Structures are given as structure tokens and as C-alpha cells.
């Protein structure tokens, strides 16, 4: 099941609307301030949740009128962020592929927290990615294939999420390596590029952040 999570970070409206309309979604979850974008874009989520402490009044009132039964309110003082709750609900609903929009922006603490949550999905064997107008962010613990026909951006950067990632082999890239180790604290894996029509990333131990970027 393909699930879309719209949350309350920075959303570039033109990009997001085009990206969402070009794809088919089985389930849509809106977290808190993501409600404003959903209202303006005419998106009707299957579930709206959060503590609603950062929602604009107009959007909140609109969704209360048209789909109150789909809204779930949580206390402001809670262990999980609204985005984390949305991710957990999407997984509970049976999602096996999740895309998060609005998970990046000016609040770096939330951005880093959202990136951390990719591990939550990875542990549950659920494909999950964060997408904005300039980046697509994923986690890889064994193997990934990138195709030029589906390439999100010119640059592909690999960053170690765990202290070390061992046995990295890259094929089809401008900078290829075999049985390489990346460690935290260096930027050795930044700004690679695809050369072949299909490129592969594999690693034997550890977890990589794979970030496709465009200016």
C-alpha cells in the first residue's frame, strides 16, 4: 500500500502538487500543520492527526466541518512528534511504501528528527522516503538501485547513519568503490553522480543515508 504523509514543515506548493498528482496513493495521512497545504491543494486525507497546536484556524475549521470523523487529536505533551504519530499510523494501516512531504524546512531539529524516523520504517521493513523540491532522502542497509529514468537529482550523496558502514560497493557512479568503509565525521560520500543508466549501492554492515539532490 502506497501512503503519503503530509506534515507541517516547508512545502513548495507548485512542486508538491505536481508530485502528488503524478502518483497514485492508497492512503493519505495529514499531520498537524500539513492541514493548511491539504486545504489549499484540495486534498482530502484519510486521516488527520496531531495536537493541532500549529494549525491555522481556517483550515482546522474547514476539516472539522467536512471530515470530523477522520480527525484524531492528541495532547500537546506527548512522547511522539505529530510526524512520528503519522508514520506509525501509516505502518499500522498496512503501508509498505511511504513518502513524506513537509518533513524538511527551517526547523532543523524537526528535520533531523524526521530523518531519524526513516530508521523506524527501515526496522519494520517498510520503504520510506522524504521528498521536497530539492531532495529525496532514503535509508539503505543492504542494497539499492538507482535508474537515470527515475533520478530525482543530479547529485547522489551517501552519509553513514551508523558510526561505520562497511563493505560499500558502488557501481555505475562517477566515483566507484568496492568494499569501502565510510565513518562518521567525514564527508567522503558527498556529491557523487550517476554515469550508467542503472547504478547500484550495496553495503555489508551498517546503514547509509542516500540523498539525491538538485539545485
pLDDT of residue 159 exceeding 90, the answer is yes
Confidence band for 4, pLDDT divided at 50, 70 and 90: very high
**Mean predicted lDDT score pLDDT of the chain:** 96
Task: State what percent of residues in the chain have pLDDT above 70.
Answer: 100
| Stretch(es) of the chain classified as CATH 2.60.120.320 | 140-213
pLDDT at 53 over 90: no
Binned at pLDDT 50, 70 and 90, residue 147 comes out as very high
H, E, C per residue of 137-201? EEEECCEEEEEHHHCCCCEEEEEECCCEEEEEEEECECCCEEEEEEECCCCCCCCEEECCCEEEE
Write down the CATH superfamily of domain 2-133: Thiamin pyrophosphokinase, catalytic domain (3.40.50.10240)
φ, ψ (nearest 5 deg) of residue 166: -110, 155
The pLDDT assigned to 116 comes to 97
Cα–Cα distances in angstroms (integers) from residue 136 to residues 45, 132, 155, 164, 215, in the given order = 22, 7, 11, 22, 12
Judge whether residue 93 has pLDDT over 90. yes
State mean pLDDT over 23-30: 98
Question: Which of 134, 120, 137 is CA-nearest to residue 86?
Answer: 120
pLDDT for residue 117: 97
Over 90: is that where the pLDDT of 202 sits? Answer: yes
- Which SS3 state, helix, strand or coil, does residue 10 take? coil
For the segment 89-117, the average pLDDT, to the nearest whole number, is 97
Task: Return the percentage of the chain with pLDDT > 90, whole number.
Answer: 95
**Alpha-carbon span 96 to 115, nearest angstrom:** 18
Mean pLDDT along residues 101-106: 97
Contact 93, 1 (CB under 8 A): yes
At residue 54 the predicted structure's pLDDT band, cuts being 50, 70 and 90, is confident
Strand partners, 199: 146
Residues of the chain with CATH 3.40.50.10240: 2-133
Q: What is the CATH number of domain 140-213?
A: 2.60.120.320
Average pLDDT of the residues in 88-110: 97
Residues 171-186 pLDDT 10s: 999 999 999 999 999 9
Q: What is the pTM assigned to this prediction?
A: 0.95
Amino acid at each position: 500500500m502506497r501512503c503519503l504523509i503530509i506534515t507541517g514543515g516547508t512545502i513548495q506548493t507548485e512542486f508538491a502538487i505536481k508530485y502528488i498528482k503524478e502518483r497514485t496513493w492508497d492512503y493519505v495521512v495529514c499531520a498537524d500543520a500539513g492541514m493548511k497545504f491539504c486545504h489549499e491543494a484540495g486534498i482530502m486525507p484519510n486521516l488527520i492527526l496531531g495536537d493541532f497546536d500549529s494549525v491555522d484556524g481556517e483550515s482546522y475549521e474547514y476539516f472539522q466541518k467536512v471530515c470530523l470523523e477522520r480527525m484524531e487529536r492528541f495532547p500537546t505533551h506527548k512522547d511522539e512528534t505529530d510526524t512520528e504519530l503519522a508514520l506509525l499510523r501509516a505502518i499500522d494501516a498496512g503501508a509498505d511504501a511511504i513518502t513524506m512531504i513537509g518533513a524538511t524546512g527551517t526547523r532543523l531539529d524537526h528535520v533531523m528528527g524526521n530523518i531519524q524516523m526513516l530508521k523506524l520504517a527501515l526496522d519494520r521493513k517498510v520503504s520510506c522516503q522524504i521528498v521536497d523540491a530539492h531532495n529525496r532522502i532514503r535509508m539503505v542497509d543492504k542494497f539499492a538501485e538507482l535508474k537515470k529514468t527515475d533520478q530525482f537529482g543530479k547529485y547522489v550523496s551517501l552519509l553513514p547513519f551508523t558510526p561505520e558502514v562497511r563493505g560499500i560497493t558502488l557501481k555505475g557512479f562517477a566515483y566507484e568503490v568496492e568494499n569501502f568503509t565510510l565513518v562518521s565525521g567525514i564527508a567522503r560520500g558527498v556529491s557523487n553522480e550517476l554515469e550508467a543508466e542503472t547504478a547500484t549501492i550495496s553495503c555489508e554492515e551498517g546503514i547509509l543515508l542516500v540523498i539525491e539532490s538538485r539545485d
